[in-house]
Amino acid sequence: MRFRQLAEHFHRLPRTLGPEHLRRSQMFLLQKKKLQPNTIRKNKAQGR
């Protein structure tokens, strides 16, 4: 997930996102969306 999308999800500015927001987003993808860890790592790398 790109930072802009993540910021919209949390209703915050991208520059105000912290590690806890990223962790919560990753946990959501793992638990609710049932994505594999490799998929999440790829998305994380693309957002850098």
pLDDT value of residue 41 = 65
Question: Tell me: the pLDDT tens digits for 3-45?
Answer: 788 889 889 998 999 999 988 888 887 787 777 777 766 665 5
Domain ranges of the chain: 3-46
Cβ pair 6, 17 in contact under 8 A: yes
User: Where would I find the H helices in 1-48?
Assistant: 3-10, 19-31, 37-46
Give me the residue label for tokens 């590690």. Answer: 19
pLDDT value of residue 12 = 92
Which phi and psi angles does 43 have, rounded to 5°? Answer: -65, -40
Residue 14 gets which letter from DSSP? Answer: G
pLDDT value of residue 20 = 92
